[in-house]
């Protein structure tokens, strides 16, 4: 081992590897290593400037028992930044301490000539680099010792039933409804960012934790120490960025369905809402309003005067958001120029095709600045200049026909090395230009994101999930873990996306329960693909805005008078909370707090709150207990310390107990903190 000390960093070398530990924000370190002799200079998610830290770095000799029973002197190095300390031993094992208590230690099981626990003959090392044949990237495997009793949260969105991720294996890859945001919050008082957009895997195992990047030039992670999840998230968003202040005129209802096929349909819906006395803040124009994928323009047959449509909607106080896909059909007028200029994703083998839904398509290479410029200029001319307010950046993973990441290449390198950053770069096609042209905050809708996406105007929704109670329950933990990964602007399709029959009473019950939950979430948005598909297409062409199917109506009045009455009541609840919701968005902007919060976020000292995943806090005032099962009309709710008022009856309950409350279809249990 060779150690060297720089101003705020510890650097060491061993067996061709260079490793650097440096202070990076309050009580935090950034740790990088490489086998290539120099770092790439990529900051990835660590985009924010950080204040200088008062750092201590020193190297000392310590006694070690060696294999023959004698004592030997070995060098170790220590770096301290506030409450966080890292110690590197003589074989390069890094151990982290919070307030001098060990919180994380690299896993090593190879003989080092001592009698230590790590000195064994298994030849398993802490940082394993294996060169990828024929390339300059490595497959990196980083291991840490597992901590018994530890709970792990965050990491983005995975369609599973587990809020606590301890024991889980997570693919570090983007898919439709799967969002890799690799920031973990530990119950031991630290946060860990895997600052690497490579495709890979993490396993929070009982025996060890393992992070794998399938193709990378360097290891890069960031670790912070704090008292609890609120402070951890504040430190994390301090170095990765925070959301802007959300516009007040988007905190109410967003109306959407699959799909409004004509501008007349859009205007009829908007006029009916106005007649019903229900203000909608934004109406969404979904896919295949266009000619073919990649033309990025309205089909004039069904959208003859988009500006007039937008002007009328604006006169009602309604903003307009339009769906954009990153796929370019070979029939598109933009395909030839973009292919010739190298603005599309390349395939390593076989035909140039990355997506095959409703066309033979190649998706755009958003890592290329010329691509971003080209796409924005087309969309500005065909949408933004008509007054369109925002963009629904769908398929933003991107949604590959087959997720063979090793077969795709961007201008920034192989997809295996950088693909997880794609949705963030896709959002910046629009955010960078709109923030320059707009007088207010930019708000676009995306199906995916990565670490730091919160600073680019991204409302992220949970993707095309089934219309089932099981999927609904999964979305609760998805939203809570997304919030802990630093993404406060998160939403779902109310009722789920994939619905076979809107007339099924079981679906209608699910819709109401999901709608009630959505009122107490960040973005209140109606959407879904509603069957049955018995509505004929508008024409018999095999392209353009008329040929593709549409779903059943999805407006509030579409599901019968009884359900409409419930939805209007909860709409009024949402509107009545406007000032409170504004305060929650301000907190997200100031310190990174999510709007929907795990129970332990507000009550970190209550051990019971670390076990709960079927109830949550909407900010600091409301305890929300969603109904997650068909024909469930009561449920138990745990109340932490304090006094709690049941909003349906006004009854006051003492905390630190579990109560069972009624939940008729007209009511979802909500308690207000007294």
Which residues are annotated as catalytic? 394, 397, 464
What phi, psi does 369 have (nearest 5°)? -60, -30
Q: Are 316 and 275 spatial neighbours (Cβ–Cβ below 8 Å)?
A: no
Given strand 444-446, what is the order of strands in its sheet? 490-491, 458-461, 444-446, 390-393, 319-324, 280-285, 253-255, 524-526
Q: What's the half-sphere exposure (Cβ side, CA atoms, 13 Å) at 230?
A: 14
- Best CA proximity match to 462, nearest among 477, 484, 452: 477
Helices 561-576 and 505-519 sit at what angle, rounded to 10 degrees? 10
Q: Are 15 and 24 spatial neighbours (Cβ–Cβ below 8 Å)?
A: no
Beta-strand ranges (E) seen in 52-93 are: 55-65, 71-81, 84-88
- Scanning the structure block, which residue is given the tokens 């959002």? 427
Cβ atoms within 10 Å, residue 252: 18
- Best CA proximity match to 378, nearest among 360, 396, 361, 391: 391
Return the bridge partners of 285, or none.
322
The three-state secondary structure class of 601 is helix
CA–CA separation, 556 and 554 (whole Å) = 7
256: Cβ contacts below 8 Å, ≥ 6 apart: 283, 284, 286, 525, 526, 527, 554
359: Cβ contacts below 8 Å, ≥ 6 apart: 292, 293, 327, 329, 330, 331
Phi-psi region of 438 (alpha: psi -120 to 50; beta: other; left: phi over 0): beta
Cβ atoms within 10 Å, residue 498: 17
CA–CA separation, 636 and 579 (whole Å) = 30
Q: Would you give the DSSP letter of residue 345?
A: P
């Amino acid at each position: 081992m060779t150690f060297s000390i720089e101003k705020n960093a510890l650097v060491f070398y061993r067996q061709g590897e260079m490793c650097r530990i440096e202070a990076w924000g309050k009580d935090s370190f950034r740790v990088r290593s490489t086998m290539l002799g120099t770092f790439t200079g990529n900051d990835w998610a660590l985009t924010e400037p950080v204040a200088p830290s008062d750092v201590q770095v020193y190297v000392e000799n310590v006694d070690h028992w060696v294999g023959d029973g004698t004592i030997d002197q070995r060098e170790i190095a220590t770096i301290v930044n506030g409450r966080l300390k890292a110690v590197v031993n003589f074989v390069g094992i890094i151990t982290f301490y919070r307030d001098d208590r060990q919180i994380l230690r690299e896993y090593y099981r190879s003989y080092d000539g001592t009698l230590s626990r790590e000195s064994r003959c298994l030849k398993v090392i802490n940082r394993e680099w294996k060169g990828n044949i024929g390339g300059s990237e490595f497959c990196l495997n980083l291991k840490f010792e597992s901590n018994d009793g530890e709970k792990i949260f965050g990491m983005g969105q995975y369609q599973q039933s587990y809020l606590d991720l301890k024991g889980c294996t997570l693919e570090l890859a983007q898919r439709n409804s799967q969002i890799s945001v690799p920031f973990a919050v530990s119950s031991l008082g630290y946060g860990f960012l895997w600052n690497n957009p490579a495709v890979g895997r993490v396993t929070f195992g009982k025996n060890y934790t393992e992070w794998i990047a399938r193709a990378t030039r360097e290891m890069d992670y960031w670790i912070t120490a704090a008292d609890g999840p609120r402070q951890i998230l504040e430190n994390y968003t301090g170095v990765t960025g925070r959301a802007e202040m959300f516009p007040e005129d988007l905190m109410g209802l967003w109306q959407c369905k699959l799909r409004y096929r004509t501008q007349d349909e859009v205007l009829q819906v908007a006029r009916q809402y106005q007649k019903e006395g229900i203000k909608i803040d934004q109406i969404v124009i979904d896919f295949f309003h266009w000619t073919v994928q990649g033309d990025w323009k309205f089909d004039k047959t069904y959208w003859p005067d988009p500006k007039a449509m937008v002007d009328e909607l604006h006169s009602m106080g309604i903003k307009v958001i339009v769906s954009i896909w990153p796929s370019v059909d070979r029939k598109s007028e933009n395909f030839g120029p973009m292919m010739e200029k190298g603005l599309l994703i390349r395939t390593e083998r076989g035909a140039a095709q990355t997506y095959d839904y409703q066309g033979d398509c190649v998706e755009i290479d958003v890592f290329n600045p010329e691509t971003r410029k080209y796409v924005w200029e087309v969309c500005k001319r065909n949408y933004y200049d008509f007054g369109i307010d925002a963009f629904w950046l769908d398929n933003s993973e991107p949604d590959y026909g087959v997720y063979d990441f090793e077969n795709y290449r961007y201008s920034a390198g192989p997809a295996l090395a950088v693909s997880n950053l794609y949705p963030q770069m896709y959002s910046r096609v629009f955010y960078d230009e709109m923030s320059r042209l707009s007088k207010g905050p930019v708000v676009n809708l995306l199906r995916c994101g990565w670490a730091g996406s919160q600073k680019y105007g991204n409302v992220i929704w949970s993707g095309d999930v089934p219309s089932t109670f099981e999927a609904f329950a999964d979305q609760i933990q998805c939203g809570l873990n997304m919030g802990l990964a630093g993404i406060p602007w998160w939403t779902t399709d109310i009722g789920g996306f994939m619905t076979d029959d809107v007339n099924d009473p079981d679906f209608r019950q699910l819709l109401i329960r999901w709608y009630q939950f959505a009122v107490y979430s960040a973005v209140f948005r109606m959407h879904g693909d509603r069957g049955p598909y018995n509505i004929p297409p508008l024409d018999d062409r095999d392209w353009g805005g008329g040929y593709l199917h549409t779903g059943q109506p999805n407006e509030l009045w579409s599901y019968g008078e009884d359900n409409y009455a419930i939805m209007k009541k909860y709409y009024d609840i949402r509107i009545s909370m406007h000032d409170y919701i504004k305060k929650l968005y301000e907190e997200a902007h100031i310190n990174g707090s999510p709007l929907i919060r795990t129970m332990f976020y507000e009550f970190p000292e209550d051990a019971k709150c670390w076990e709960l995943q079927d109830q949550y806090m909407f900010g600091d005032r409301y305890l929300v207990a969603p109904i997650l099962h068909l024909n469930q009309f009561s449920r138990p709710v745990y109340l932490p310390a304090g006094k709690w008022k049941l909003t349906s009856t006004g009854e006051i309950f003492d905390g630190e107990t579990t109560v069972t409350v009624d939940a008729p279809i007209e009511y979802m249990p909500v308690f207000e903190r007294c």
